[in-house]
Structure 1
Amino acid sequence: MEPDTVTESHQPAVQMTHREILEALSGLLLAMFVAMLSSTVVTNALPRIVTDLNGSQSGYTWVVVATLLAMTATTPIWGKLSDLFSKKLLVQSALVIYTIGSLIAAFAPSMGVLIGGRVVQGLGVGGLTALVQVVIASMVSPRERGRYSGYIGAVFGLATVSGPLIGGLVVDSPLGWRGCFFVGMPFALAAFFVLQRKLHLPVVKREVHIDFLGATLIIGGVSLLLIWVSLAGSSFAWASTTTAILVTAGVLTIAAALYVEAKVAIEPVIPLRLFRDRTTALATTASVMVGIAMFGATVYLSQYFQLARGMSPTEAGLMSIAMVGGLLVSSIVSGRIISATGVWKRWLVGGLVFVVVGLALLGTIDADTPLVVVALFMALVGIGLGATMQNLVLAVQNNTKLEDMGAASSVVAFFRSLGGSIGVSALGAVLSTQVADKVRSGLSAMGITETSHQSSSIPDLKALPAPVRDLYEHAFGTAIGHIFLISVPFAILALVSVLFIKEVPLRTTVDDRDELVGEPVETGATVPVPAAKLR
């Protein structure tokens, strides 16, 4: 069955039954599971991957940053395309791209090829991240969306819990770390066919103008700044000619992108007019800060458990249950209560308070902190993130017109991913520098030359003499604790941004204009005109 084609003029939004929504949602949730799994399943494999491919701490960081960068740069493009083309076709295309990237990464013979495969994976993940939110916004009103956002939160939690566990088991099996890149493929294939059968949305037919120039400038500017953040301090000095060139080029490129988006592009990738809305502007700011705190800090937890606590990948995966358990519960509970009451701001504020407190407490950990205490701190962060991430998107969608839903939803995801990319890059550089300094001074005190044990590399701890292994464990434990402390100010800025958001009651229609259609009744409410059903 082909989707209906409607014109650019306003048409009442498609009304779907709960069963129809759940059927379509099953495919979307599979796609979301694939997107989340691409990061979490590799987390506990990274120390083994980097050791096997003779990588460094910088290489460890870039295996993560490559995906985040590609996802960040392309998320708004996918969102804009969803306002112009078939959303189902775009989601399926993203699944295919993800699968191709997974195959490249699985057979990578070197760190360079692996990072290239992760870039391709990121292109697909960027589409899935943006489009799942957009499609749900096209089917469900903001008031009801909290209910379904709870399902997204549950899938997020499942992928985050099962990903490290599956990844750890696969790494410790005969398949090795390469098997981690095959895990998501069956789910991607299942999502493709479920969406083909169950997702049917109208396609808006109108004159199409793709902002290739703006997209290229956005990708170029973000890439230059992230390359600078991740490599400065290790490959070149922070105060150096290379820094000046990269920063200047990045800033000028982004300035050119802003000019193109504001003055030149007919269909801008990021419509700057969206930021005239106070909620969108503040929620976007909060998303950047949440991204820095969340991605930047939590991505290095697997290193903490494996390199500072001597755990296996499977054991490190089990430790992640503490954080994700809190995230799972809070996302489902907050989503259902928001749908029942229409009140959402208190959940954002409360969630970010938990994030701030949890990160501050994680900033006190080292290689000797009791694991029960670490798990408790992780649970606090998980509870906060579960009540925050999906609801920031919901707040923006509630203030957005239907024709801008794709762009607005992807803008929030874009800036959250941008914050994550910055956080992973910058905090990875800090971690690398601190560990190298501590190991170098420790080796010197032992009378061991650095050529015997390179302080900038990630060694196989089991192969090291006991004193050197203890040195590395304490260096990683202390340095990772400092990373959480660095993340706290960004979480505080997110909290401040949310405090200034004005709470607007959640509307009960998919399209804001449907709120105004109909004759007023005695109570002062309006009766919306029933929307046309799909053939």
Structure 2
Amino acid sequence: MTQTATEKAATEAVPPPRFTHREIMVTMSGLVIAMLLAMLDNMIVAPALPTIVGDLGGLNHLSWVTTGYVLASTAATPIWGKLGDLLGRRVTFLSSIALFLVGSALCGMSQNMGELVGFRALQGLGAGGLMVGVMAVLAEIVPPRDRSKYQGVMMAVMPVAMIGGPLAGGFITDHLNWRWAFYVNLPLGIVALVVCWFVLAKLPRNTSGKVRVDWSGAALLTVWITTLVLITSWGGTEYDWGSAVIIGLGVVTVVAFLAFVAVERRAAEPVMPLSVFANRNFSLAGALSFVVGFAMFGGVTLLPQFQQYVQGSSATNSGLLLMPMMLAAMVVSLAGGALISRTGHYRALPIVGSVLMSAGLALFATMGPDTSRTLTSSYMVLLGAGMGCLMQTTMLIAQNSAPLRDVGAATGAATFLRNMGGSLGVSILGALYTNTLADSFKSSAGSAAGGADSGSVAQMTPQMLRSLPDNVQKLFADAVSDGIDKAFVWGAAAAVVGIVVALFIRHVPLRGFDAPSDKGAGTDAAAAVPATATATATPTAPAAVAEGAGE
């Protein structure tokens, strides 16, 4: 253990690499493409799924095309983050891009649903490294004092993916072939790979030759994540909550989680260092990331249901109708990033963002068949503004609360918590929506259903609905509204918890890089470094975060 402590101290004493503004912008070009790949993939694939099922068969495996990808990327996120700390950002980030591209190519060549699900999981393993890699690389080349304006650009990629993805996916499916929904990743990924190969050459790498990978922790992490998501996905739908399968999965989840915590406490290089959670701001930022993921992703996935079934929009138009939310998120994210970089203050943003998100979700819970698209759009603006305040700020707080040598693991942990919140939000709120919809339709429709009994509700498509009698269409729209309202009530309740969490976050000054030789960094970076750090010859990461460490 003495040797490990010595190695850690030596690593922390190495100053971070200095990048000029021009070098950062060139690096950003590769990072933006990688972020776009990770966020665009599911959006492009979604419109192609009905065609894929028709071509490959295996309707019963349809959900696993998405679930396999999400599970793999969520489990891989903290592992990639820690590997970046151990091996260096460049090699791990390039490896994740390469793995994602291999998975994409294999998905496009799939001959049956089993192959597609397996290759989607492989693709998800690479995608987990893309998300955490982008943020970890950015954390290494830009000090927290200046990082928010660059992270704002990264967050602005999300509206492009959310709006452009379904449009591109629909066009590819209609005019080319569904396989190109996966092949389209290849040219973009190759460009990102080439750019990052050259621009990340300055990043430090592991030269000691000694790497301790926490394989036991990684395996246990994967087990309890998988079983937990399966519980929320299958409970009340595939199996009763009291069934042996669900109870068994619950036992495995608890045992694997406790074993994971025990292993991480003893591991020399834990895949998720529990020490970072000792910092109060990091724990609060992580909890807020989870709440944001739960409320935001769980809620947003249900909006197209309301738009298509109740407001009569097409699949393509429902994607376009999300534009007010995405544009608001982009504008607020960019403005918030610029504000943080100029003032150094960030504490108000998570509070305001949580309030706006809660208000938006609560207003969504009031929607009904008579709600206009204009009113729905105004609610979306509120939710989007809340998202813009929260997405980058929670990551910035988490990174600023961890030592530089653990910034990859901290980034992975924060991203993991948001993804877990999103996975559980989609599962739980989706289950609430589905069950309420079925119960409401069954109780109100009765014999008027014209053959569309509650058992067929889950398979109802907008096209099928329009072929039914007008009175049945109205009853189904009312049932959809009931399900949407109940799901958003719980989403809003989760967001209110986020307000409480945000109120306890303390303002800890954002650290900067003491880089007098870096003409591109200039005054802001130097001014942001605490006096205790600038007084030393080499600014160590622990010194930079000393103010926030014992909170």
* Equivalent position of 1:495 in the other structure: 499
Change in CA separation of 1:348 and 1:151 when aligned onto 2, cut-off 3 Å: same
Out of 28, 31, 38, the residue aligned to residue 28 of structure 1 is 31
Distance 1:312 1:112 in 2: 30
Distance 2:428 2:284 in 1: 23
More off after superposition, 95-104 vs 253-262: 95-104
Bigger share in helix: 2
Decide which moves more: 296-305 or 6-15. 6-15
Q: Where in structure 1 are there 5+ consecutive unaligned residues?
A: 1-5, 512-517
**1:242 match:** 245
- Taking structure 1 as reference, are residues 490 and 112 closer, same or farther at Cα in structure 2, changes over 3 Å only? farther
In structure 2, distance between residues paired with 1:423 and 1:392: 18
Which residue in 1 is equivalent to 2:291? 289
| Alignment CA distance shift 1:510-1:387 (3 Å) | farther
Look up the SS of the partner of 1:325 in the other structure.
Answer: helix
Per-residue CA deviations over 1:461-494 (Å, capped at 9, x if unaligned) read: 2573344555444433432232222111111112
Aligned mates of 2:426, 2:63 — CA distance in 1: 7
Separation in 1, partners of 2:161, 2:229: 27
Distance 1:50 1:267 in 2: 43
Match of 2:447 in 1: 445
Q: Is the 8 A contact 2:105 2:186 kept in 1?
A: no
Deviations 1:86-137 (A, max 9, x none): 3222222212222233344445566555443432222111101111111111
CA contact 1:94–1:127 (8 Å) conserved in 2? yes
Structure showing greater relative contact order (alpha-carbon pairs closer than 8 Å, 6 or more residues apart): 1
Query: Cα offset for 1:20?
Result: 0.7
The one-letter code sitting in structure 2 at the alignment partner of 1:493 is V
Q: Deviations over 1:352-375 (max 9, x none)?
A: 111110111111123442111111
* Superposed displacement of residue 48, structure 1: 6.6
Partner of residue 4, structure 2: none
Please tell me whether the aligned partners of residues 168 and 316 of structure 1 are also in contact (alpha carbons under 8 angstroms).
no
Corresponding position of 1:515: none
Q: Partner letter of residue 266 of structure 1?
A: A
Amino acid in the other structure paired with 2:488: F
Asked if 1:412 corresponds to 2:414, the answer is yes
Query: 1:216-235 maps to which residues of 2 (within 5 A)?
Result: 216-235=219-238
What is the CA-CA distance between 1:452 and the residue it aligns to?
Answer: 11
Identity over the aligned pairs, expressed in percent? Answer: 36
Q: How does 1:35-114 map to 2 (within 5 A)?
A: 35-45=38-48, 62-106=64-108, 112-114=114-116
Rate the CA distance shift 1:49–1:443 in 2: closer, same or farther, 3 A.
Answer: farther
User: 1:330 is matched with which residue?
Assistant: 332
| Pairs within 5 Å for 1:506-525 | 506-509=510-513
Letter in 2 for 1:354: L
Assess, with a 3 A threshold, how the Cα gap between structure 1 residues 358 and 47 changes in structure 2: closer, same or farther.
Answer: farther
Within a 5 Å distance, the mapping from 1:471-482 to structure 2 comes to 471-482=475-486
State the alpha-carbon separation in 2 of the partners of residues 474 and 52 from structure 1.
34
Measured in 2, the distance between the counterparts of 1:480 and 1:420 equals: 17
* Native 8 Å contact 1:356 1:491 kept in 2: yes
| Residue equivalent to 2:138 | 136
Give the match for residue 254 of structure 1: 257
Supply the distance in 2 between the matched residues of 1:380 and 1:34 (Cα, whole angstroms). Answer: 27
Quote the Cα distance in structure 1 between the aligned partners of 2:417 and 2:218. 15
Render the CA deviation track for 1:491-513: whole Å, top value 9, x for unaligned: 111221111011101112289xx
Shift of 1:311: 2.3
**Distance of aligned partners of 1:435 and 1:164 in 2 relative to their CA distance in 1, 3 Å threshold:** same
* Counterparts in 2 of 1:178 and 1:452: CA distance versus 1, 3 Å: farther
2:111, 2:455 → 1: CA distance? 24
CA contact (8 A) 1:143 1:506 kept: yes
Shift of 1:439: 3.9
Alignment correspondent of 1:279:
281
Alignment check: 8 A CA contact 1:65 1:425 kept: no
**Alignment check: 8 A CA contact 1:279 1:399 kept:** yes
> Distance in 2 between the 1:428 and 1:313 partners?
18
Shifted more, 470-479 versus 219-228: the winner is 470-479
Other structure's SS at 1:437 match:
helix
Aligned residues: 514
Q: Conserved in 1, the CA contact under 8 Å of 2:227 and 2:253? A: yes
Alignment check: 8 A CA contact 1:27 1:194 kept: yes
Cα offset for 1:232? 0.9
- Kindly indicate whether the alpha-carbon contact (under 8 Å) linking 1:13 and 1:510 is maintained by their aligned counterparts in 2: no
Distance 1:108 1:491, change over 3 A: farther
Distance in 1, matches of 2:449 and 2:367, equals: 29
Distance 1:485 1:110 in 2: 40
Matches within 5 A, 1:145-294: 145-171=147-173, 173-175=174-176, 177-200=178-201, 201-206=203-208, 207-263=210-266, 265-294=267-296
Counterpart of 2:393 in structure 1 is 391
Q: Does the 8 Å CA contact 2:450/2:468 hold for their aligned counterparts?
A: no
For 1:228, the aligned partner's letter is I
Change in 2 beyond 3 A, CA 1:141/1:476: same
Q: Relative to structure 1, is the Cα distance of residues 442 and 111 closer, same or farther in structure 2, using a 3 angstrom cutoff?
A: farther
The alignment's C-alpha RMSD in Å is 2.9
Change beyond 3 A, Cα 1:45–1:479 = farther
How far 1:300 moved relative to its partner?
2.5
2:309 touches 2:462 (CA, 8 Å); kept in 1?
Answer: no
What's 1:16 paired with? 19
Q: Which moved more, 1:350-359 or 1:457-466?
A: 457-466
Q: Secondary structure at the match of 2:509?
A: coil
Matched with 2:542 is: none
| 1:61 to partner: Cα distance | 5.5
Instruction: Indicate conservation of the 8 Å contact 1:167/1:314, yes or no.
Output: no
Work out the CA distance in 1 between the residues paired with 2:207 and 2:315.
Answer: 49
* 1:170, distance to aligned residue in structure 2 (A): 3.3
Q: Provide the rounded CA distance (Å) in 2 between the counterparts of 1:354 and 1:248.
A: 38
- Give yes or no for contact 1:224–1:246 (8 Å, CA) kept in 2: yes
8 Å CA contact retained: 1:143, 1:342: yes
Aligned mates of 1:440, 1:146 — CA distance in 2: 50
Q: 1:164–1:320: 8 Å Cα contact kept in structure 2?
A: no
Residues 439, 454 of structure 2: 8 Å contact kept: no
| 1:504 is aligned to 2:508 | yes
151-160 or 288-297, larger mean C-alpha shift:
151-160
CA contact (8 A) 2:349 2:390 kept: yes
Counterpart residue type for residue 175 of structure 1: L
CA distance in 2, matches of 1:348, 1:309: 33
**AA matched with 2:90:** K
Q: Distance in 1 between matches of 2:111 and 2:299?
A: 29
Unaligned 5+ residue runs, structure 2?
A: 1-8, 516-525, 540-551
Task: Normalising by structure 1, report the TM-score.
Answer: 0.88
**Deviation, structure 1 residue 449:** 4.2
Structure 2 counterpart SS, 1:388? helix
1: CA distance between counterparts of 2:391 and 2:103?
26
Question: CA offset at residue 49 of structure 1?
Answer: 6.0
